Structure formats: C-alpha cells, structure tokens
Amino acid sequence: SAVSVFPITPSYEIYLIKQYRYLLEKEVIEAVAGIIDENESILETARRELKEETGIVAGKLQEIKSIFVAGSFVKIRQHLILAQDLKLDKAEPEETEEIELVKMSLDEAVSKIFSGEIITSSSMLGILLLDKMRQKGEICNFW
C-alpha cells in the first residue's frame, strides 16, 4: 500500500512535485507519494513523505479516498490524502531523489491533466476528486 498526498491552500492552490521517472523516461508532475512502512499508519506515512519530499508540514491530514491502482498483475492500494493547514519547512529528500516543488491553482492542475502534462493515475484522480469536492462545496468543510 502507498499514499498520494495533496497539499492544498485555502485559495485552492495545490502543491505537486516534478521529478524524472526512469521507467517513463521523462520528467513528471505528480502528487507526493510513498510506500507505507511496516508499523506505520496511513497518515504517518503521508506526513513523513510530505515533509521529506517537499518540506511541507501539514496541520491537518485526511484520507479522501482509497483506490486500487491495479488489480491484474499486481495489487496496489493507494490512499489519497488531503493535506491542509500548511507550513513550509526544509525538504529532506533521499540522496537519489531530485524533486522540484511546484505550486499551481487547482484549475491549472485540472487543465494539466487534460493537456497530458499530469499522467499518473493516482495524481489525476486525486486532483479531479479535489476539484469535484470544491465544486460541491465540500472541501471548505475541512478548514
């Protein structure tokens, strides 16, 4: 199991990351993500990955959806996490990670899905879920 974390501001700006993905042979814009370590909760993993990869510390974390990314060759459960009440600190990426923090409006992130700039399934789904929650007035209930 893994997490994908979606830090969002009260003005609906979302933080994503940009990094080179060797399997895809290109630079990708995506959500912060990571594997859940043994004896670690979903929210602990989200908090750890968010701090390591971006330096962001979230005062509030909430799971918005649990999905299966795949179910035929491998079984991968991805937990989509909303992060709010954000504070920027120093990132602590692993030695092999070269990560760039990218901040954009939620509208821009949705546009990047449809233009093909955001291509990972969990990132796409998380952004589209947040956009739908905003449209329905549900996301503001988390602040």
Q: What is the pLDDT of residues 55-108, one digit of tens each?
A: 999 999 999 999 998 777 877 899 999 999 999 998 887 777 789 999 999 999
Reported pTM = 0.91
Mean pLDDT of 16-37: 94
d(CA 105, CA 54): 17
Per-residue pLDDT at 98 = 86
Contact 35, 51 (CB under 8 A): no
d(CA 106, CA 6): 10
Per-residue pLDDT at 140 = 62
How far are the Cα atoms of 56, 71, 80 from residue 84, in angstroms, in the given order? Answer: 10, 31, 13
